Structure 1
Amino acid sequence: MLLTATACSESWEHYSTDPGMRLSFSSDTLKLDTVLTNIPTSTRLLKVYNRQEEALLISSIDLAGNSGFRINVDGQKGYHFSNVEIAARDSLHIFVEATLASTGQPTPTLVKDSILFMLNGNRQEVKLTAYAQDAYTLRAHRIETDTIIQTTRPLLIYDSLSVAPNARLTLGPGTQLYFHSKAVMHIHGQLTVNGTLQQPVVFRGDRTDKLFSYLPYDRLPGQWGGIVIHPTSFNNSLDHAEIRGAETGIRCDSSSLQAPKLNITNSRITQASTDALSLNHCLAQVTNSELSNAGRHCLSLQGGQYTFVHCTVANFFSWNSRQGTSLYAAHTDEATAPCEATFVNCLITGSNTTEAYLPEMNQQQAACQFQNTLLKAPADLILTPTDYPPTLIQQDAFTAIDTQAQYYNFVPTDGSPAIDAANAQAAQPYPLDRNGHSRLTDAAPDAGCYEAPQEEAS
């Protein structure tokens, strides 16, 4: 045993000096995508391989520039490393992260660096790239007067962003709000979102990196707290809003039914860890919008009066086990707070056998009316009382349901029961679907907020 150990030691001390030797890398360019400046990124891994039959001694490993990148070589932090050993047919790990400085530019700026390797007189290089994005940072910020925000630079929000009673916050096209973990938007006054199809207003978490190479953090639920519309708030309107990755997308607290609480058009609320849209004893309308993928309910209604037209309510939540359905509707425990909801030209579907839960309260179910609306449920499901029952479907077909990459595209494809299932007269006020495609030029409109491509629907 002693002789064997000595032989191994002597073999390790012999390094090839052949100038033809080369290192191999897991990637020749390590990309960090878009990075918010002055915030540390997550760590990325670069593997360095010795595919030779002899040990190698790397003369130096250097971070070439002073760009904000940092490296860690087999557990040691630094910018310069000398005489790094790598055994035959072995590898070493280099961990890369960055904190990029502000650029002073309104749009992302490309930042480059590289890791240089010297082996037997030869230099090899692995490139490092990232796009640095400056952001306006707000910490526990409260808006006290009418304010208009429109900027190409994101707002980075810590703790909370609040709109005081009697104040209105208007967000212009292309505005992006990045919320740090647990950060919440509180609306006591009024919120107006004026996005467009080409420039939606985005509400999302502040993680711009990836959990895995195929999975951006931006597609994950529970990245931030969500939007809370408080009892004092009325006449909120959201047009072309994109709300994703929250704990609860929007929660409307109980208030008077004498004034509209919320009007949502052409928008999407998706990947919520609890409810995507929670409406509690208020007056609200949602049109031409997608409510999708929630750990509990995509749409939760408790008391109040609601109208939904050309909405896709689809729960294929797969990040972990979900506890609800696409649609939950119920009276409140108070006899004076019934729930009344009308669904017109909507698609309510998901991965469960039944995607509606209407529990009895006060000996009756919520008063839901379904006009030209499809509901994923067994053929023998009975929903009472309703003068307009839904059309029950047992399957559907969409463009993409990718649970690994958490990518979902709810445009119906050939074989979907939503195709041509909507009422043409009810669709007249909404001639374009959420993607801007006409729903009035083929045989009949499709149920939901998306129109199938006409060549597929024919």
Structure 2
Amino acid sequence: MKRTLYFICCIGFILMVSSCRKDFEFQASSGGLEFSKDTIYLDTIFANIGSSTYNLKVYNTSNDDISIPTLQLQNGENSGYRLNVDGQAGKSFTDVQLLAKDSLFIFIETTYNTDTTPLTNNEFVYTDKIIFDSGDNLQDVDLVTLVKDANFIYPDKNNTTGIIETLTLTIDGTPTATEIQGRELLPEELNFTNEKPYVIYGYAAVPAGETLTIDAGARIHFHANSGLLVSEGATLNVNGALSTDPELLENEVVFEGDRLEPLFSDVPGQWGTIWLFEGSQNNTINHATIKNATVGVLSDGNADAVTDKLTITNSQIYNISTFGILGRNTSITADNIVLNNAGQASFGATFGGKYNVTHSTIANYWNSSFRQFPALLINNFVADAENTAFVADLTEANFSNCIIYGNDNPELLIDQIEDAAVVFNFKFTNCLLRFQDSSNFFSSPNYDFDNATHYENMIFNEAPDFENPLENNLKIGEDSAANGQGNTTFSSQVPNDILGVSRTTSPDLGAFQHIIF
């Protein structure tokens, strides 16, 4: 009986206390809110493309439950900013409740729509405010983002079916329908200038018989699964130039994704590739930075071209999810190139072909996952879906005054299917190479480093002294094993390094002459 009476008394006490609480009595805010930031800086965006989501935290530091009478964007429904307040989307809110000593999140995005507000400059600072309350209790938080105008290139889309335009490509002289989303560039689009960035959706194809010229200082951005395709009979000329500012790279041509936020600045695989289709010709790339792609440059076919299919000079390719450069039975001349951070190989010379690489740094310090191949892969075959191998001539693969290094060992794989009907020619001269094989796994004659037919004046496994390879900074220091080890026959062919520094006397290996860190 006593226990029952005690229980009833406890329940009564709890009910009495509960009835005295004022859980649902909110006082009007008196302007004492605190904020995690007084200004929200949203990163640079292109016009008509949405930003990432940013957040603001609002604190009620008082002992009272409060209600914020109004919470809104200063420009109201006309604002290009969007809010989400505790899960509710909109641009204006009333009676937003906030418990004592509690906080709420506001999520912020923006899109600048040029259809409603045309841009008058190539870029400008777009601002608004989040206004809390009004009158004497008014508080605000500034919103700031930089909006850039751009040239947009994208395929047509059928509004009824939702089907996106695909490319018809000339293959062996025959127009062939493909499933590659994209369209051919129009005649007025065949010169990319540095006046405004270019944003490409799908694959922009250079038509047969035409040349795409890209001026120094141009910026080309690709959406996911997008890229540049140079058709049979077409040509790509990337005419970058040496820059005076190593940060701005004002004369460099830069190829990257269309996400401009710092979070995406070094993320591999954001877009497709620069695809030099079989039959494209006389392609040149000079002073370019190609980053964050699936394949940096894919060059197909034309191994026997009188003029090499691709000449690439003074260029850097890094943060690539598969291959920095992938050649398939093709012909490439490369001078002063810097490759790094590829999920497979930095340079793949596959299915035979012809390759001449001089004063280049082929490195791979990929650390995001296991990689199947070393920094440099050379082979003479390709396998189809049934794993049937097809071989082709490796006419030549010459690497001279190069550094071939990385965070794996070895950083060279020569994978040959022997066939008396094809040739397999390669030579490394005055190169610094990481290759240790203590288990004697690589027993092929192709790894006989005493054979002067294939290897001459080599340096093995000594430190290149890169400044910061994990940040794609592959300049070498004065303690580098590559310092002064170049062959002047090759340095006279490429007399300046990638930064324009002379190397005619005492040339270093790789793309950079050494500096003092």
Q: Deviations over 1:225-263 (max 9, x none)?
A: 101111111210111112111111111112241321100
Match status 1:449 vs 2:511: yes
C-alpha distance in structure 1 between counterparts of 2:120 and 2:362, whole Å = 39
Match status 1:187 vs 2:251: no
Q: Given the superposition, is the C-alpha separation of residues 94 and 8 from structure 1 closer, same or farther in structure 2, using an over 3 Å criterion?
A: farther
C-alpha distance in structure 2 between counterparts of 1:5 and 1:248, whole Å = 71
Give 1:335 deviation, angstroms. Answer: 5.1
Match of 1:142 in 2: 184
Q: 1:176 aligns with which of 202, 205, 219?
A: 219
Q: What's the secondary structure of 2:499's corresponding residue?
A: coil
Q: 1:23 aligns with which of 3, 15, 34?
A: 34
Q: What's the secondary structure of 1:243's corresponding residue?
A: strand
Based on CA coordinates, which of the two structures has the bigger radius of gyration? 2
Q: Deviations over 1:130-180 (max 9, x none)?
A: 111111111233137693331421222111111122111111112222111
Q: 1:255 aligns with which of 293, 302, 320?
A: 302
Match of 2:4 in 1: none
Q: Deviations over 1:63-85 (max 9, x none)?
A: 11244111111111111122222
Q: Deviations over 1:183-218 (max 9, x none)?
A: 1311121101111123112221111224xxxx3x13
Q: 2:434 aligns with which of 367, 370, 376?
A: 376
Structure 1-normalised TM-score? 0.88
Contact 1:276 1:299 in 2 (8 A): yes
Alignment of 1:117-128 (within 5 A): 117-118=132-133, 121-128=136-143
C-alpha distance in structure 2 between counterparts of 1:57 and 1:39, whole Å = 35
Q: Given the superposition, is the C-alpha separation of residues 51 and 310 from structure 1 closer, same or farther in structure 2, using an over 3 Å criterion?
A: farther
Match status 1:337 vs 2:393: yes
Match of 2:356 in 1: 307
Match status 1:232 vs 2:279: yes
Match of 1:209 in 2: 261
Contact 1:310 1:447 in 2 (8 A): yes
Q: Given the superposition, is the C-alpha separation of residues 16 and 255 from structure 1 closer, same or farther in structure 2, using an over 3 Å criterion?
A: same
Alignment of 1:67-78 (within 5 A): 67-78=79-90
Match status 1:412 vs 2:412: no
Q: What's the secondary structure of 1:426's corresponding residue?
A: helix
Give 1:122 deviation, angstroms. Answer: 2.7
Q: What's the secondary structure of 1:378's corresponding residue?
A: coil
Give 1:289 deviation, angstroms. Answer: 1.2
Q: Percent identity?
A: 30
Q: Deviations over 1:333-377 (max 9, x none)?
A: 555422521111211111112211112321799543222211122
C-alpha distance in structure 2 between counterparts of 1:420 and 1:329, whole Å = 27
Contact 1:353 1:394 in 2 (8 A): no
Q: What RMSD, in angstroms, separates the aligned Cα atoms of the two structures?
A: 2.9
Q: What's the secondary structure of 2:138's corresponding residue?
A: strand
Letter in structure 2 aligned against 1:50: N
Give 1:119 deviation, angstroms. Answer: 8.5
Contact 1:106 1:153 in 2 (8 A): no
Give 1:106 deviation, angstroms. Answer: 5.3
Match status 1:219 vs 2:266: yes
Match status 1:294 vs 2:304: no
Give 1:14 deviation, angstroms. Answer: 5.2
Q: What's the secondary structure of 1:276's corresponding residue?
A: strand
Show structure 2 runs of 5+ residues with no match. 1-9, 155-181, 244-250, 382-388
- Range moving further from structure 2, 115-124 or 237-246: 115-124
Contact 2:466 2:477 in 1 (8 A): yes
Show structure 1 runs of 5+ residues with no match. none
Match of 2:159 in 1: none
Q: 1:280 aligns with which of 328, 340, 349?
A: 328
Q: Given the superposition, is the C-alpha separation of residues 50 and 267 from structure 1 closer, same or farther in structure 2, using an over 3 Å criterion?
A: same
C-alpha distance in structure 1 between counterparts of 2:20 and 2:430, whole Å = 78
Give 1:95 deviation, angstroms. Answer: 0.8
Contact 1:269 1:290 in 2 (8 A): yes
Contact 1:24 1:50 in 2 (8 A): no
Contact 1:439 1:445 in 2 (8 A): yes
Structure 2-normalised TM-score? 0.78
Letter in structure 2 aligned against 1:331: N
C-alpha distance in structure 2 between counterparts of 1:193 and 1:89, whole Å = 59
Match of 1:132 in 2: 147
Q: 1:267 aligns with which of 315, 327, 343?
A: 315
Contact 2:29 2:66 in 1 (8 A): no
Letter in structure 2 aligned against 1:408: N
- Range moving further from structure 2, 171-180 or 137-146: 137-146
C-alpha distance in structure 2 between counterparts of 1:354 and 1:172, whole Å = 39
Contact 1:369 1:389 in 2 (8 A): no
Match of 1:421 in 2: 485
- Range moving further from structure 2, 407-416 or 297-306: 407-416
Q: Given the superposition, is the C-alpha separation of residues 345 and 105 from structure 1 closer, same or farther in structure 2, using an over 3 Å criterion?
A: farther
Q: What's the secondary structure of 1:225's corresponding residue?
A: coil
